[in-house]
Structure 1
Amino acid sequence: MWKYTENAGRRNCDLSFANLYAWRMLYRTEVAEWGGFLVFRFYADGHLAYLMPVGEGDWCAILQALKEDACRLSHPLLLLGVCEDLMPQVEECMGEDCRVNANRDHADYIYLRESLAALSGKKLQAKRNHVNRFKALYPDYRYEELTDEWVPACLDLTRRWVESRQDEAEKRAVAAESEAIQRALAHREELDLRGGVLLVGEQIAAFTYGAPICRDTFDVCVEKADVEFEGAYTVINKEFVSRLPEQYKYVNREEDLGVEGLRKAKLSYQPEMLLMKYSVWSSCTVKAEIEECGLTPELHLIKWQTRALWSLCFGDTEEFMKLYFTRKYTPERNSCLVRDGRVVAALQRLPYRMMFGGGVV
């Protein structure tokens, strides 16, 4: 991957190999080379999806190849993580045959490394106060590089962090992240992870690790702290970033996922830029074919989102899914709940005939 990403100038966290590897258990990510490009295929919420390819060559050819691959697997093309500077290529190659959506919740927060390391300036005064407060409260603190010695303590802090969640949906989400952390730390050296731990006495107060995205941008993949130690998050961030090699001008601290508290925290560090990312959807059929089968583009999109939801909930085979959504599904038989342009619940009503009293009911 590195030969594609090193000099590509792409700074989105989706392209961190450490992230792709650690989260593969959830997204079933596959990577391949095609026509001078690196391409990515995975599943997001049950729907087959692709990242925007990385490389040089014929953009129209590679996007058409991805669409054909998706259609072969009975899915429309869903591109995720498309950065704003690549939208012209998408629009030129796909024209009217696509729908585009910007999602603020998945924008990456990118900072200047020097700014995070120094915390200088009036706008970051509160962060300096947090650091000074931590040093006053815990004068025996120290920072150490993340080595095998500290991995068990990091995993124990992660376990306690998972157990502290109350909401069941949140518990499932953090449990998945916990598994990703275990996978990453188990292969720390192979993934070329850099990390650090913050200690108060012999107790671990926080840990973090990350990996490069490209030549000038470093991705902070994980940052966890024991909230009993006031200011631990601020201190581990400053200590870790200040030790990164100077070649990394930028630090990507990833998305906020729409979590209000996380958004407030990330904005408080004064990002240099918000890297907006778009999702692009394109049907396997052209507009004329959609109209011919009696579905508007909106109904066609609902059909495929309902299909993805079905797959997520029930895990049926592709053969069954294709049979049902080709022969049984109709818009009239489907009721759905849509939030922010996405089907989040659906109900299927199918005709059922039976013999009763000598007749068909």
Structure 2
Amino acid sequence: MPCVHFLGEVIFMIDFRTPLISDKPWVDALLSHAAELGCEYNFTNLLIWNHAFSQKFALVDGFLAVRLTGTAGCGYLWPVGQGNIKNALLELEADAKERGAPFRLICVAPAHVSELEAYYPGKFQYITDRNGADYIYDINRLADLKGKKLHAKRNHCNRMEADCPDWRYEELTPDSLAECLVVNKEWYRRAAEREGAADEVSMQSEETALTCAFSNYEALGLEGGVLRVYGEVVAFTIADRLNADTYDVHFEKAYSELPGAFSLINRELARSLRERHPELRYLNREEDMGIEGLRKSKESYYPDMMAEKLTAVKVKE
């Protein structure tokens, strides 16, 4: 049972707290031990989306423990770090019990199922989260767009370059914040005109995350670019390192009224990152969230792999 403070505040054994930019060094050190492909295992995502998913973390037996609320409900990410992970899992299970909640692990890679079954044989129910699976691409394929499968993407880029001969791709800097926020708002406005009422919650949530990313741009080690036509920003993208050979693309927005803008900003980011970081092999372009148009777009680039994710819920005994 949780102990109760004399002022009525409920105190839990694990002190989960909101991420701060000052946490990046120790969190990154623990994440470096992870073999995870999912975008959840990235400090930037933990920081900038904590308002949307109530993401909080703690150090538990040498492991980074993250508690969050997602579409599957409240739960925990698979702990990452060094030491005895069974002890960390037992502590998270006790924390869930304290809170009167089921012990739920979110965004679990299929590779962890055998490990979880070794500790809790037959105790978990597994649910596939197709909408949350990340699309991962070979960076060279995105940069060069070679082959028959990507012929349409090459054509999109060629058309954009022909229609807008003065286009240019520039490195994104904090000074570009205001212009990128304008693009973000305008993108939602145009989408609402095409498809109906805008999702105000999603727009505000993304704007909050984007503002947080820009406010901590250099401290987070973010990289990205903007696409300009006649000097005006018409597309932008932001990414940073996920692991030793993979970058995670956090944001990408482009005016769809400009045929080829999405394809061009995608290609230019891949080329820019490949030039700066020759060791990179992959770009994680995150999930489609079950949005039909987004899924179609991501599938059209033919991902080299998918970072599949499961929700694991401990059954009542």
TM-score by length of 2: 0.86
1:233 equivalent to 2:258? Answer no
Structure 2 runs not aligned, ≥5 long: 1-26
Q: Tell me, yes or no, if structure 1 residue 243 matches structure 2 residue 275.
A: no
Name the SS for the 1:255 alignment partner: coil
Moved more, 94-103 or 192-201: 94-103
Query: CA separation in 1, counterparts of 2:101 and 2:271?
Result: 45
- Residues 8-64 of structure 1: CA deviation (Å, up to 9, x unaligned): 221210111111111111222112222231111122359431111112332322211
1:33 equivalent in structure 2: 59
CA contact (8 A) 2:72 2:311 kept: no
1:71 paired with 2:97, answer yes
Larger radius of gyration: 1
SS in 2 for 1:227: coil
Q: Contact 1:63–1:93 (CA<8 Å) still a contact in 2?
A: no
Map 1:180-191 to 2 at 5 A. 180-191=209-220
| Among candidates 151, 156, 165, match of residue 177 of structure 2 | 151
Equivalent in 254, 269, 274 of residue 301 of structure 2: 269
The answer to whether the 8 A contact 2:105-2:311 is kept is yes
* Greater mean deviation of Cα atoms: 206-215 or 57-66: 57-66
Could you tell me the percent identity over the aligned residues? 36
Aligned equivalent of 2:5: none
| Segments ≥4 residues shifted beyond 4 Å | none
Whether the 8 Å CA contact 2:33–2:80 is kept in 1: the answer is: no
Mapped contact 2:131–2:287 kept (Cα < 8 A): yes
Give 1:176-325 correspondences, 5 Å limit: 176-244=205-273, 245-283=277-315, 286-287=316-317
CA offsets 1:260-306 (integer angstroms, 9 cap, x no match) = 111111111111101110001125xx52xxxxxxxxxxxxxxxxxxx
Q: In the alignment, which residue of structure 1 is the partner of 2:149?
A: 123
Q: How many residues align?
A: 285
1:147 positional shift: 0.9
Alignment of 1:26-175 (within 5 A): 26-44=52-70, 47-166=73-192, 170-175=199-204
Q: Is the 8 A contact 1:13 1:254 kept in 2?
A: yes
**Contact 1:7–1:214 under 8 Å retained in 2:** no
Q: How does 1:8-27 map to 2 (within 5 A)?
A: 8-27=34-53
Q: How big is the shift at 1:7?
A: 4.3
3-state DSSP of counterpart to 1:242: helix
Q: Is the 8 A contact 1:37 1:57 kept in 2?
A: yes
Structure 1 unaligned residues grouped into runs of 5+: 288-361
TM-score by length of 1: 0.76
